[in-house]
Structure formats: structure tokens, C-alpha cells
Amino acid sequence: MSKVALITGASSGIGHATALRLARDGHHVVLGARRTDRLAALAGMVRDAGGTADTHHLDVTDAKNVADFVDTAVDRHGRIDVLVNNAGIGPLSRLDSLLTGEWNQMIDVNIRGLLNGIAAALPHFQRLGSGHFVTVASVGAHEVMPTSAVYSGTKYAAWAITEGLRVELDPSIRVTTISPGIVESEIAGSITDPDTKELIRSFREKLIPADAIAAAISYAIGQPSDVDVNEIVIRPATQR
């Protein structure tokens, strides 16, 4: 069954790969991100492959912008079926670097952005009596390493919020957390601390493609309506 799937942070990495994967699965994808030039190129790729896509400028830290993203999709298509809360940032650093501005950015995008997506989509899902929330968290939600304290804190919060959503909602609305390990993405490019940048560069020498995460999302979405895949942890076989 074709679904209307909204994806935040769709301009690169996991969001980009998920858009292509879900479009190949026959779903209509609604792409949200700040870099609209990249969204336009991605939508072109989807259409060239025979799929369908809409694009929307999206800053997940802006609650009204997120509400407009969701409401516009409902207005155009009459419904929404899936919201992939994927947008996230990860400028890792040690706490004694005191990069408080970057800490606040992670809190705003990784936690408030998720909450904004839930607040925008949940009334529509409840009205329709169906829907599927997918949160892209991280292995960092389950473990902390030096430099990851704030990032892991935000991703644990994302995990906890999503699990809370699952236990609170009627079973007609499914909820899935995807926790990737080291994966092809631009997230390392946001690191400004020189020592952390070098540490992460060597750490990321063995990674998995973003489509591996997209395939996990596709699997969760594709299950029968009475099957709720609650969490998938997916990482390179070499990652411990």
C-alpha cells in the first residue's frame, strides 16, 4: 500500500537515502530540510526513477514551520501516514571544551525538533486513526564515550520521548526508534573542536552506507498494521 511519508533532514545522509528507498517502495515522499536546492535535486532523482515527491523548506526548531510542513502535506494529499523524524546534528566535543552554543544547538534540533514533529503530526494521526512515527536516534542513546556526553544525552532523550509516545498511544499508531551506529553522513562535518575532529576521523574509517539505515526504516514501515517494530539498532559489524 502506497503511503504518504514525511522525512525531516532529507537533504543529506540518512534522510536522503530514506527518501530514495521509500520512493522506490512506491510511497509518496514529502521532503523537508533547510537546504532547498538539495531537496529540489533529490526530488528530481525521485521523479526520474518514477516516484513522486514534494519539497518544503523546513527548520525543525521552528514549531510553526514544522506545523506548516505537516499541514501542507495533509492539505495536498488528504492524509499523512508516516513521519520520519530524522533531522539531527552532532558537533561532538569534551565537556571541558565548554562549547555551550553547540550544546544548545543539539538540544534545539535533536530534542525540540523531535517534539515539534510529534506535536504537528499527532493530531492528524489521531484523527485518521492510524499513522507511524519513526525517530532516528543513535547508538549514542545507549552508550556514552568521551566527547559524546551532550550528543548522547540528546539521543537518549529522543529514545525516551519516542518510547513514551509508544506506550501512551493507541496501538493504531505505530512508533519505531531507529538507532544507527557509525554511518555515512555529514554529521562529523559539524565538529569544530580540533582534537575531537581527529578522533572521530579515525573512528569513522569503517562505516556503513546510509541506505542500510533506510532499509531498516523501510522494513519497519512495511510491516502489517498489527506489527509494531519498536526499535532497530543497526551498526557496522566491526563497531563494538
Domains within the chain, CATH numbers bracketed: 4-234 (3.40.50.720)
Residue ranges for the chain with pLDDT beneath 70: 185-205
User: What is the model's pTM?
Assistant: 0.93
pLDDT score recorded for residue 191: 63
CA distance 61 to 120: 12
CA-to-CA separations, 28 to 48, 117, 135, in angstroms, rounded = 14, 18, 19
In tens, the pLDDT along 173-200 reads 999 999 999 888 656 666 666 666 556 6
In tens, the pLDDT along 3-36 reads 999 999 999 999 999 999 999 999 999 999 999 9
Catalytic residue numbers, as ranges: 151
CA distance 143 to 191: 19
